[in-house]
Amino acid sequence: MARLVLKFGGTSVANLERIRNVARHVKREVDAGHQVAVVVSAMSGETNKLVGLCREASLLHDAREYDAVVSSGEQVTSGLLAIVLQDMGVEARSWQGWQIPLKTDAQHGAARITDIDGSKLIERLEKGQVAVVAGFQGVAPDNRIATLGRGGSDTSAVALAAAIRADRCDIYTDVDGVYTTDPRIVSKARRLERIAFEEMLEMASLGAKVLQVRSVEMAMVHGVRTFVRSSFDDPDAPQLGAGGLPPGTLICDEDEIVEQQVVTGIAFAKDEAQISIRNVADKPGVASAVFGSLADANINVDMIVQNISPDGRTTDITFTVPESDYDRAFAVLRDKKDLIGYQAIEGARDVVKVSVIGIGMRSHAGIAARCFQGLAEKGINIRAITTSEIKISVLIDSAYTELAVRTLHSLYDLDG
């Protein structure tokens, strides 16, 4: 017998028919003798609808009331699933975030979890009751509902799994696992049976959309084994697969991965923009003025390249920001022109960041060189480069996205 947390996203609970399908997945685990807690998102499209109503009511709405409105989608889903489970003969009860309680900080609309008391849930689970928990929400220090930001149900599920000491957290979604890259780009992309927490964190932060970044961070910190699988698989199909698991991808500690490939996957992010500041005086404090100003405006900077002129007097600084912050970043830097002292500022939106990821890169030389050579042979120019122990990221023109991803996928023997 195991203690499991099952999380179902919006597409998995989009209507009553799909909610009944979800209930069959839950019942299967209950019938197998497992203790089960379920975390659900709002029905597909419901959160967007509620956000739109808030904006229509007032563009400058109170964040606390916004949370009261948008959190209602998960409340509806949790109640409906509990009703369907009861109708199937499964003892179930819905829970809202404040009932657990799942405590958050005071940042309404984008709250972070500070504590979860899982004792009440554990008591109910041990008595055989299924807990159906509304994801995406908790209770803030002001005793009001606080939401965790978009994708927060994944984070709710992993945090809950840690709090109740679950053996595994199963994330049911509309894909059947984590792939070496986007199968829509590379038809030979293959599903990974296992991937290390660090690799999944890089994949999620560098463009893979399977899991929310914060949920992977939390899983890694608390050692929560997380299993990504499809909610559209037949709930009554045999649950057989690698290591006794059904089809899907297990995210776990690297010690659980017996045979680790050098490169695990290729990720890409299209929501990047490049900014270049030309002919800046090469003196102490300039970089601080540039990136400090952007930080004060809450704009994240990713890749940074600095080129010093032959005479050593001036430098060019190139970096990337989220595409959604491009105009705002330009405005901030124009306002700070006298402080920074640059001669010109340029930018580009038609760029993409492509990343090569793998824990095996730590112990193998020449991985970066193969990447650069492979792209050069295809005539793909690299605008910027960043590296870490387990990843290489290059910034290229967006027109070459598919060619670059396919080239690197084949180059590192990831084709299925």
Note the pLDDT tens digit of each residue in 367-376: 999 999 999 9
Q: Is 372 annotated as a binding residue?
A: no
Q: What pLDDT digit, counting tens, does each position of 329-363 carry?
A: 999 999 988 888 888 899 999 999 999 999 988 87
What is the side-by-side strand order in the sheet with 35-40? 92-95, 130-134, 35-40, 3-8, 168-173, 226-230, 249-252, 194-196
- 209 is known to lie in a ligand binding site: yes
Q: Cα(228)–Cα(247) distance, rounded to whole angstroms?
A: 9
* Cα–Cα–Cα angle for 39, 42, 43, rounded to 5 degrees: 120
Instruction: Indicate left, alpha or beta for 65 from its phi (over 0: left) and psi (-120 to 50: alpha).
Output: alpha
- The yes-or-no verdict on residue 244 having pLDDT over 80 is no
Fill in the DSSP letter of residue 364: -
DSSP 309: -
Q: Consult the annotation and say whether 272 binds a ligand.
A: no
H helix or E strand, kind and range, residue 88: none
> Does 242 have pLDDT greater than 60?
no
CA distance linking residue 25 with residue 246, whole number of Å: 12
Q: Is 326 annotated as a binding residue?
A: no
Give every CB contact of residue 203 below 8 A, 6+ residues apart in sequence.
Answer: 178, 195, 210, 264, 265, 267, 357
Does 285 appear as a known binding residue?
Answer: no
Tell me the per-residue pLDDT of 252-264, one tens digit each, with 9 for 90 and over.
998 888 767 889 9
Q: Tell me the average pLDDT of the chain.
A: 92
Contact 34, 2 (CB under 8 A): yes
**Model pLDDT, residue 294:** 93
pLDDT (tens digit, 9 = 90+) per residue, 292-302? 999 999 899 98
pLDDT at residue number 394: 95
- Asked whether the domain spanning 265-411 has the same topology as the one spanning 3-254, the reply is no
Is 217 annotated as contributing to ligand binding? no
Average pLDDT over residues 201-214: 83
Domain 265-411 has CATH 1.10.540.10: no
| CATH top-level class of 3-254 | alpha beta
The reply, when asked if residue 74 is annotated as ligand binding, is: yes
- % of the chain at pLDDT higher than 90: 74
179 is in an annotated binding site: yes
Is 174 one of the annotated binding-site residues? yes
In this prediction, what percent of the chain has a pLDDT beyond 70?
97
Q: Is 190 annotated as a binding residue?
A: no
Residue 133 assigned ligand-binding role: no
Say whether 89 sits in a helix, a strand or coil.
coil
From 51-60, 145-154, 280-289, 306-315, the region with the lowest mean pLDDT = 306-315
Query: pLDDT tens, 94-128?
Result: 999 999 999 999 999 999 999 999 999 999 999 99
278 is in an annotated binding site: no
Q: E strands within 144-234?
A: 145-147, 168-173, 194-196, 226-230
- Type of residue found at 97: G
pLDDT number for residue 162 = 97
Contact 206, 352 (CB under 8 A): no
Residue boundaries of the structural domains of the chain: 3-254, 265-411
Instruction: Give dist(CA 212, CA 218) in Å, integer.
Output: 10
- Higher pLDDT: 157 or 245? It is 157
